[in-house]
A = this chain, B = another copy of it.
Amino acid sequence: MVKQHRRLQVKLSESLKPLIPSKDLIFGRHFTDHMLTIEWNSKDGWSDPIIQPFGKISLEPSAMVFHYSFECFEGLKAYKDKNGKLRLFRPDMNMKRLNRSAARLTLPVSIIWDVIGGFSEDELLECLKKLIRLEERWVPAERGFSLYIRPTLIGTQASLGIGPNSRALLFIICSPAGPYYKTGFSAVKLLSTFENVRAWPGGTGDAKIGGNYSPCVRPQIEAAEKGYQQNLWLFGPDDEITEVGTMNCFVLLDNEYGETELVTPPLDGTILAGVTRDSILQLARTWNEFKVSERKITMSEVVNALKQGRLREMFGSGTACIVTPIKIINYRGEDLAVPLDPNDPSSNAGPVTRRISDTLMGIQYGEIPHEWSVVLN
């Protein structure tokens, strides 16, 4: 394997932008001074990576990405710890998933697709780290703040014939981000969504590709118009819970056998394999205080648990929010009140939800030593 990251070229920006005051940060609106780009074509494989000034991408109007949605992406964050060190959280997971998503769309990947000049996950991660080190001043120091990192891979072949792309572009852009909840948690209200489905068996629900996202905006607007922040995506005749908005979904309940159980739907092809999801499962299994299950869970199980006082907590999980407590689910016309903290009626998150969030943030900001947190400098 050629060490591509050693061939990384750096073209520095001639002028640096002013930093955005923390209070003015809007998610995904402001970007750092540089971006990383790596071109690919089917003849020569991957070109040398380049860090260059952040700027526009110029493509033929016939580029496949504009017509047939050849696009996949990742989202991860860089954190600054109290000693000023930069940290990533399990970035290897994002590199692996990017490869899997690309393979689903026949975009170039290191292992499966691209036999010419393969660009490995490790090499891409080294390039990403160089970019983040260069953009260090953009990583906010306040707890809860971070630098959101968006690796993106698009098919750029200029042709309207549908088939695998002969050209592609991988780029990484970075955006300083504030805490998801500015004042503690904000528990959300969900609308169970029947008219639309997010994913299905044999589809692409487990790939982080553009095509999974735009169709969810209209249902989200419809939910918002009714006063609900997110869609609860259900599937099948027995209303299996799948995802919440763009998050994985967790249910903590006392099950019918009297066990306390943390349940999340299994990776059956319709569910995104979230890095936060995986981390929560691993953490909870390490705690060994309650049963942890990846299994099918239906709305009728949730409704029954609620009515019998066995439902403890529900939350969504994702890179942006870590965890989002759920307080209301509208299901077939009825608002179901999901418990938050029984010992603290003023709380807006249950104790397990809160503990998971605190633990993950502790690891991400280097306060809790853990192999998941990768120090950059």
Chain A: residues with CB nearer than 8 A to chain B?
26-29, 31, 35, 54-71, 73, 103-106, 148, 150, 152, 154-155, 158-164, 171, 173, 175, 194-197, 200-204, 209-218, 220-221, 246
Give chain B residues whose Cβ lies under 8 Å from the Cβ of A67: 71, 73, 150, 152, 210, 213
Give chain B residues whose Cβ lies under 8 Å from the Cβ of A217: 68, 105-106, 162-164
Give chain B residues whose Cβ lies under 8 Å from the Cβ of A171: 61
Known: A29-B158, A69-B210. 13 other contacts (CB 8 A): A28-B62, A31-B62, A61-B171, A65-B66, A68-B214, A69-B69, A70-B214, A104-B215, A105-B217, A195-B202, A197-B201, A200-B203, A209-B211
- Give CA–CA (A60, B150) in the complex, Å: 13
The minimal Cβ–Cβ distance linking A371 to chain B, given in whole angstroms, is: 29
- Give CA–CA (A358, B65) in the complex, Å: 35
Give chain B residues whose Cβ lies under 8 Å from the Cβ of A68: 210, 213-214, 217
- Give CA–CA (A280, B234) in the complex, Å: 37
- Whether A56 and B54, one on each chain, are in contact in the complex, defined by CB atoms closer than 8 angstroms, is no
Residue pairs across A and B with Cβ atoms less than 8 A apart, 9 shown, are A26-B161, A28-B62, A29-B161, A57-B59, A57-B63, A61-B173, A64-B214, A67-B73, A69-B210
Give chain B residues whose Cβ lies under 8 Å from the Cβ of A59: 56-57, 59
Give chain B residues whose Cβ lies under 8 Å from the Cβ of A60: 56-57
Give chain B residues whose Cβ lies under 8 Å from the Cβ of A204: 215
Known contacts A29-B159, A161-B27, A246-B162; is A66 also within 8 Å of B154 by CB?
yes
Q: Contact check: which of B57, B175, B211, B214 meets A215 at CB < 8 Å?
A: B211
- Look across to chain B and name the residue whose beta carbon is closest to the beta carbon of A158: B29
Give chain B residues whose Cβ lies under 8 Å from the Cβ of A216: 162
The minimal Cβ–Cβ distance linking A166 to chain B, given in whole angstroms, is: 11
- Give CA–CA (A201, B199) in the complex, Å: 10
Give chain B residues whose Cβ lies under 8 Å from the Cβ of A63: 57
- Give CA–CA (A246, B28) in the complex, Å: 35
The minimal Cβ–Cβ distance linking A20 to chain B, given in whole angstroms, is: 14
Give chain B residues whose Cβ lies under 8 Å from the Cβ of A55: 61
Known contacts A56-B60, A62-B31, A164-B221; is A215 also within 8 Å of B105 by CB?
yes
Give chain B residues whose Cβ lies under 8 Å from the Cβ of A163: 217, 220-221
Most chain B CB neighbours (cut-off 10 Å) among A27, A62, A150, A220:
A62
Give chain B residues whose Cβ lies under 8 Å from the Cβ of A26: 159, 161
Give chain B residues whose Cβ lies under 8 Å from the Cβ of A152: 61, 66-67
- Look across to chain B and name the residue whose beta carbon is closest to the beta carbon of A148: B160
Give chain B residues whose Cβ lies under 8 Å from the Cβ of A196: 202-203
Most chain B CB neighbours (cut-off 10 Å) among A29, A57, A163:
A57
- Look across to chain B and name the residue whose beta carbon is closest to the beta carbon of A233: B202
- Look across to chain B and name the residue whose beta carbon is closest to the beta carbon of A164: B217
- Whether A56 and B61, one on each chain, are in contact in the complex, defined by CB atoms closer than 8 angstroms, is yes
The minimal Cβ–Cβ distance linking A97 to chain B, given in whole angstroms, is: 15
Q: Contact check: which of B57, B65, B66 meets A58 at CB < 8 Å?
A: B57
- Give CA–CA (A67, B173) in the complex, Å: 12
